[in-house]
Chain A
């Protein structure tokens, strides 16, 4: 016997957890603590039937929280207080005694929490949470109607199962409806609230400026920067170009759009690479170094091969970039080198001295670069993210005192020294490296791979120099930054990629445009690479088909595992009969022999007799007998072909 209240409680807490889990990262710390405590305590109190909060104390707490968060709400800050308040209300409700309407309140609040989380993020977690929530809440509501009639109601296990199964029809139907609505309704590709009112984050990744010395330490995060679908490349070629910083102002490097003609890329084999950039509200478009052109997005290209979108990326974009990773970057013949030789105002004497020495020793640019590299090596610099040089004279401190820093220190010092040696130089900001995901054949580039390197103009071509590799611990500290992702993380990221491709960036317009131009491009429709929308469709279909197959296989597996040899035989026999005679399932009220006689098939009669002997007689099912009966079934089935 099952108490209906127990069932309802289980569903109720499931709904609470489903509602709060996706929202949890966005809650204030005290609220997080309260929520976790409340869920834990709620389960315990429900178990013991002794509640922490009485009706009036709950009301007072509710009022206090209301006032507390109501005062925080203003036009620019609506959602955060609202979701925190929702979570708190839910927590209070968990700690009080529950009657019918309280369960209803909990379901509604949990649903609101889940909905609130979608304003803040569109992670993949939302999807399973939503589906489960639909199930839990609808079944919960059905149970609630029973509970409302008779709170002490007890159900037999079989009756409860029937009830649950019947109640599960509702959410199944609504999920089908959801599938239809998915194709019909307009959607947003970025979380409504959180994205437009992005908070300035202290976590660094790729930035528009290089200002060594502003942070005492540099925290690397594993947040997604972008994904790039392409063939696997040698690690040395994995430089992702974002921006070029050509002006120095004090200690900081920044960008002024160059006016000169476009630089050209020659040599090396071209590589095509599809980059999927999440919504960032910025205009940078990353490319594989050295890029030739971009396709699939409206861009603005500068002479130094920096691409940017026409307007800030408010939704995720995907574009194809052609590049020659092993190529050479040729400067236009009449290059204005003056811009790339400007020096900062303050340069410490020690740095000047080094530059003078190099200028004296090396006559040509390649020689000087070589000397400069040797100087860097001789300084025994360490690649590090902590205990960094301070803001007053970061370059001097980096090269001679602390001798530790991250790529920005290496690149900016190297760049300044190059310019001091009369070699035109600039900094390139972007990413270096990438985790290749075999699951989806793409590189995953995370924020901790953000990198800055140097390009120097030597003999009319811009040569890539990465001073970070000159660190004494380059092999461990820089080239192997961070841990490689575990298999689990890779798989998860692969799934997330699919989610973004198939669900978030699914766009009806794309779909319609494909349909419109369908007659012309009917043949190219099949090649998924050329039309992103088609690949999206294929992905969706693949996911659905995959889930379906998996589900069927799992069901089959579970059933087979539960089946006795007898049942398996019987199932085979039924299938054979269905094939042979195009019969419906043998009715459960017809006995085997009776049925076989009706069919008047001697083989069937033999099978029915022998099988009955095993089933109802004392005859054991030996292996030989099993084999014989299987063969008999085959024979019954074979007559179809003949």
Chain B
């Protein structure tokens, strides 16, 4: 068993450095991506282009010393464009597997909803299985492995929206949002930070990330909080706007994410605030609303549910 809160300081240091120097005003998104990374999940950023999704992913990978791959999804993107393919090597006289961009620690899949379903499902399968099988041979993906997918919520023409079952594969869905006005003015004045990011020196070793992940796993989750998580899940299932609430996998994801949130907060145990903090990013996209309520914002629905579940106090 690892030491409690192992490598906590270093992880926090990464967040502080990034938000302090490079990613001003993105602390929430950064924390969420850190939570996703620590709990072995994937992140779906739903926001309009130009708010720094790529910057976020790049900065994170550089600071953590992880490899980074990027796919710009289009409707003619093929599965092999992601996973890689075997090509015939004339010199060796055999087939050689060329790894696709998915064989990176952090993969940015831009505008994932533009890829055709076949490609989407190939990638999502890899996300779940953490390995790629090409022509009968399985190639394991690196650890840690995190996909940061983005999608544009406003443009709907020529897209293949992710089916709910596949949305479930993402641990966290979040927006980035505009930076605060003062900060935005600063950014306009100084220009982007993309170049600076490329110079970020790794702040963390791969080993440190592994032990941090183990430490997250050891965070204590009290029976009261299990009760609370269950109550939230049950409420979503009984809600009158929702046809399918949070699944058992969804509840497990919430517990894992809550653990990671507690870890980031420097606690060895989960408290209800952690659950509340991650409930919307982890839970909202898993809700399937009744057709007549499709227009509702799932996040608002999730918040209203949280406001109806009692905190276990005794």
Contacts and interface: CB of A to CB of B under 8 A. Distances in A.
Contacts of B313: 567, 570, 588, 592, 615
Contacts of A570: 313-314
A564 B224 CA distance: 16
Contacts of A591: 271-273, 276, 311
Nearest to A591: B272
Please give me the 10 A-B residue pairs with the lowest Cβ-Cβ distance, nearest first: A617-B269, A591-B272, A588-B310, A612-B271, A616-B222, A591-B273, A593-B273, A616-B271, A591-B311, A594-B273
Interface string A599-627: 00000000000001101111000000000
Choose among A592, A612, A615 the residue with the greatest number of B CB atoms under 10 Å from its CB: A615
A604 to B, nearest CB: 14
A566 interface: yes
Contact of A589 (B222, B269, B306): B306
A26 to B, nearest CB: 53
B273 A589 contact: no
A210 B309 CA distance: 82
B314 A567 contact: yes
A523 interface: no
Interface in A250-290: none
Nearest to B314: A567
A23 to B, nearest CB: 48
Contacts of A613: 267, 269
Contact of B222 (A566, A593, A594, A617): A617
Contacts of A590: 311
Report the interface size class on chain B: 20 to 34
Contacts of B311: 588-592
Interface string B265-294: 001111111001000000000000000000
20 contacts: A566-B314, A570-B314, A588-B310, A588-B311, A590-B311, A591-B271, A591-B273, A592-B272, A592-B311, A593-B273, A594-B273, A594-B276, A615-B222, A616-B222, A616-B224, A616-B272, A617-B222, A617-B267, A618-B220, A618-B268
Given A564-B314, A567-B314, A589-B311, A616 B306 contact: no
A567 B306 CA distance: 23
Interface string B120-143: 000000000000000000000000
A566 B224 CA distance: 14
Contacts of B269: 612-613, 616-618
Choose among B220, B272, B306 the residue with the greatest number of A CB atoms under 10 Å from its CB: B272
Given A612-B271, A616-B271, A618-B269, A589 B220 contact: no
Given A570-B313, A591-B271, A591-B276, A615 B308 contact: no
Nearest to A566: B314
Contacts of A588: 310-311, 313
Nearest to A593: B273
Report the interface size class on chain A: 10 to 19
Interface of B: 220, 222, 224-225, 267-273, 276, 306-311, 313-314
Interface in A570-592: 570, 588-592
Nearest to A590: B311
A567 B224 CA distance: 14
Nearest to B222: A616
A564 B270 CA distance: 22
Nearest to B223: A616
B12 to A, nearest CB: 17
A398 to B, nearest CB: 79
A187 B178 CA distance: 78
A566 B309 CA distance: 21
B270 A589 contact: no
Given A567-B314, A591-B276, A616 B307 contact: no
Contacts of B306: 589
Given A564-B314, A588-B310, A589-B307, A617 B220 contact: yes
Given A566-B314, A567-B314, A615 B273 contact: no
A592 B272 CA distance: 9
A37 B269 CA distance: 64
A594 B277 CA distance: 10
Given A564-B314, A616-B269, A617-B220, 11 more contacts: A567-B314, A588-B313, A589-B306, A591-B273, A591-B276, A592-B313, A594-B272, A612-B271, A615-B271, A616-B224, A616-B225
A615 B272 CA distance: 10
A59 to B, nearest CB: 53
Contacts of B224: 615-616
A589 B309 contact: yes
A594 B267 CA distance: 15
Contacts of A612: 269, 271
A135 B205 CA distance: 73
B270 to A, nearest CB: 6
Contacts of A566: 314
A570 B306 CA distance: 22
A595 to B, nearest CB: 10
Contact of B268 (A564, A615, A617): A617
B128 to A, nearest CB: 31
A136 to B, nearest CB: 34
A333 to B, nearest CB: 88
Nearest to B269: A617
B277 to A, nearest CB: 9
A618 B221 CA distance: 9
A589 B267 contact: no
Nearest to A614: B269
A613 B270 CA distance: 9
Nearest to A570: B313
A169 to B, nearest CB: 24
Nearest to B225: A616
A615 B314 CA distance: 7
B175 to A, nearest CB: 21
A187 B267 CA distance: 71
Contacts of B271: 591, 593, 612, 615-616
Contacts of B273: 591, 593-594
Contacts of A617: 220, 222, 267-269
A566 B313 CA distance: 9
Nearest to A612: B271
Contacts of B310: 588-589
A591 B311 CA distance: 6
A27 B309 CA distance: 59
A221 to B, nearest CB: 57
A602 B269 CA distance: 21
Contacts of A616: 222, 224-225, 269-272
A590 B272 CA distance: 9
A594 B279 CA distance: 14
A566 B308 CA distance: 23
Contacts of A592: 272, 311, 313
A126 to B, nearest CB: 43
A274 to B, nearest CB: 55
Contacts of B270: 616
A594 to B, nearest CB: 5
A227 to B, nearest CB: 52
Nearest to B308: A589
B311 to A, nearest CB: 5
Nearest to A594: B273
A630 to B, nearest CB: 18
A589 B271 CA distance: 13
Contacts of B276: 591, 594
A615 B307 CA distance: 21
